Amino acid sequence: MDSVLVIDFGGQYSQLIARRVRELRVFSELIPYDTSIEEIKRKNPKGLIFSGSPYSIASGGNEMPVIDKKFLSLGIPILGICYGMQLMARLCGGDIVRTGSNEYGKTEINLDLSSPLFDGLKIKESCLMSHRDSVGKVPEGFKAIASTPNLPIAGMEHPGKKLFGIQFHPEVMHTPSGMDILRNFLFDICGCSPNWTMVSIIESETEKTKETVGKGEVICGLSGGVDSSVAALLVHRAVGDRLTCIFVDHGLLRKDEAKQVIETFKKNLKMNLIHIDAKDRFLKRLKGIIDPEEKRKIIGEEFIRIFEEEALKIKNADYLVQGTLYSDVIESGTGTAAKIKSHHNVGGLPEDMKLKLIEPLRLLFKDEIRKLGIELGLSDEIVWRQPFPGPGLAIRIIGDITLEKIKILQDADEIVIEEIKRAGLYRKIWQSFAILPSIKSVGVMGDERTYAYPIAIRAFSSVDAMTADWVRLPYDVLERMSSRIINEVDGVNRVVYDISSKPPSTIEWE
Ligand code: XMP
């Protein structure tokens, strides 16, 4: 399978570049800039893309991410974007200057159409610029291929070495011809074939799992959501009945969720399933814990301990399948991405874990996993289920977790989901749920003073959970949720709506 890797210097659009490449059916992943050249060679990419970065080459500094010049001599085409172009210029002996006139936003650009990068485009296009530094003089062997009124060198090319740089961002919507530029790079310049399809992923993951597992036994942590169901289906294709799914009820699920998951599973997925009721065990360990990272670590560890115990009972299964996805991996901290939170199934794993992990979805985004689920014949009910985090309500009860709070939150959450479904919004919205902040406020019900919990409602749209925008829910939907929650859920006297997007907030409150 052809691939083009994105060398990540920490730019805000790095992942989007990888997504765009994948949309053109060429496999791509983010590679931290300090990855060794041997590792890159091992991955055998057909091209590289250097991402942007928050750092400035003109200002220098020790923290500035740089790579060895040898990267430019791998013999494969490279496209540098923004900082990536400047770094390429610097490594080849060009000049980087702080222009003084910053360019941010939509800008008209003149293109040299003789460059294969701009094949089929117009002489004038519009693009998104976001930079302070720029290339002042192209290095030897390069020529300028794009300019704006403020910027004489907005693009450059070394024709013989197939090295290209563009100061603007082709990966964003504000550059309408951006996908054409990427298409030219991938297919005409790198010579890739668009062979990264759902069918090819299914085939390669099945083969890989068969090879890894051999004749061994496998268990799978199944939550009932789309990720773990797709992961289970994929592995089931490879090992058949040697796979046993384990559904753990940690007592922090949504109302009646355990029953629903088991029914749906039995109806849709013909695989071995064990249901573990571990409510007491989890709640005992979480008693009095208020730190979000500690909650996640405890939950991650308890899950693994249960899986290990079950693995011993199943003729010593050695492998554990998890539905970890790419956004979990990135947000739990990679070489270049900062750690935001330890997703329970990535950063929350105990160090002494005995089971070996199989994570067939580790490099996929949620929308790609849904497409894979459809290809594998998974029912709409599972494919379109809104995501629910592994630590469940533990990270939606802010502060310490008690049975009383769990019951309040489950009841409120059920109303939120019912009303979202009633308004026909369930599939259109990425996630919608209730949060219980552990504070109390004063209210009046009848003639009585109340002193009770508020419930926060969160509903937002997203493509991959890496960024999210709060949904402008109709007032009547909000009003129905508010009045039903206050009237029907004991212990609540106030409802608020969370109107923060990600970034700067995260989706879950903890
Ligand atoms: P955040 O809060 O990081 O959430 O913006 C991004 C997406 O990930 C889900 N999430 C998790 N899923 N284990 C999971 O399986 C976790 O520890 C976890 N934390 C957050 C969250 O619901 C959202 O969809």
Residue listed under structure tokens 């009633």: 422
Q: Which atom of ligand 1 is nearest to the CA of 344?
A: 17
Rounded Cα distance, 402 and 3, in Å? 49
Going from the Cα of 65 to the center of ligand 1, the distance in angstroms, rounded, reads: 29
Q: Which atom of ligand 1 is nearest to the CA of 343?
A: 17
pLDDT for the residue numbered 302: 95
Going from the Cα of 394 to the center of ligand 1, the distance in angstroms, rounded, reads: 12
Residue listed under structure tokens 């996908």: 179
- CB-side neighbour CA atoms (13 Å) of 235: 33
Rounded Cα distance, 56 and 133, in Å? 7
pLDDT for the residue numbered 268: 84
Tell me the H-state helices in 93-217: 178-183, 198-213
Best mutation site among 508, 509, 510 for ligand 1, i.e. most ligand atoms within 8 A of its Cβ? 508
Q: Which domains does the chain have, with CATH numbers?
A: 3-189 (3.40.50.880), 198-383 (3.40.50.620), 402-497 (3.30.300.10)
The residues annotated with a catalytic role in the active site are 82, 169, 171
With contact defined as beta carbons under 8 Å apart, do 83 and 52 qualify?
Answer: yes
Closest of 7, 30, 101 to residue 334, by C-alpha: 30
- Pocket of ligand 1 contains residue 344 by CB under 6 Å: yes
Going from the Cα of 428 to the center of ligand 1, the distance in angstroms, rounded, reads: 18
Q: Which atom of ligand 1 is nearest to the CA of 348?
A: 17
Best mutation site among 327, 359, 396, 507 for ligand 1, i.e. most ligand atoms within 8 A of its Cβ? 507
With contact defined as beta carbons under 8 Å apart, do 49 and 8 qualify?
Answer: no
Rounded Cα distance, 162 and 181, in Å? 14
- Pocket of ligand 1 contains residue 322 by CB under 6 Å: no
Going from the Cα of 502 to the center of ligand 1, the distance in angstroms, rounded, reads: 12
Residue identifier of the C-alpha nearest atom 10 of ligand 1: 389
What torsion do the CA atoms of 488, 489, 491, 497 make, to the nearest 10 degrees? -100
259: tokens are: 């029953």
Going from the Cα of 292 to the center of ligand 1, the distance in angstroms, rounded, reads: 12
44-68 as b/e, with b when 16 or more CB fall inside 10 Å? ebbbbbbbbbebbbeeeeeeebebe
- Pocket of ligand 1 contains residue 342 by CB under 6 Å: no
Rounded Cα distance, 76 and 86, in Å? 19
- Pocket of ligand 1 contains residue 235 by CB under 6 Å: no
Best mutation site among 343, 435, 461, 501 for ligand 1, i.e. most ligand atoms within 8 A of its Cβ? 343
- Pocket of ligand 1 contains residue 390 by CB under 6 Å: yes
Q: Note down pLDDT in tens along the chain; length 510 residues.
A: 899 999 999 888 888 899 999 999 999 999 999 999 999 999 999 999 999 998 888 887 778 999 999 999 999 999 999 999 999 999 999 888 886 556 777 889 999 999 999 999 999 999 988 878 889 999 999 999 999 988 999 999 999 999 999 999 999 888 999 999 999 999 999 999 999 999 999 999 999 999 999 999 999 999 989 999 999 999 999 999 999 999 999 999 999 999 999 998 888 888 999 999 999 999 999 999 999 999 999 999 999 999 999 999 987 799 999 999 887 777 666 555 556 666 767 666 778 888 999 999 988 988 899 999 999 999 998 999 999 999 999 999 999 999 999 999 999 999 999 999 999 999 999 999 999 999 999 999 888 999 999 999 999 998 878 788 999 999 999 999 999 999 999 999 999 999 999 888 999 999
> For residue 188, what is the DSSP state?
I
What is the DSSP code string of 197-231? -HHHHHHHHHHHHHHHHTT--EEEE--SSHHHHHH
- Whether the full predicted model's pTM is greater than 0.85, yes or no, is no
Going from the Cα of 325 to the center of ligand 1, the distance in angstroms, rounded, reads: 10
What is the DSSP code string of 453-505? EEEEEEEEEESSSSSEEE----HHHHHHHHHHHHHHSTTEEEEEE----BTTS
- Pocket of ligand 1 contains residue 432 by CB under 6 Å: no
Residue identifier of the C-alpha nearest atom 1 of ligand 1: 507
Rounded Cα distance, 86 and 165, in Å? 8
Going from the Cα of 508 to the center of ligand 1, the distance in angstroms, rounded, reads: 6
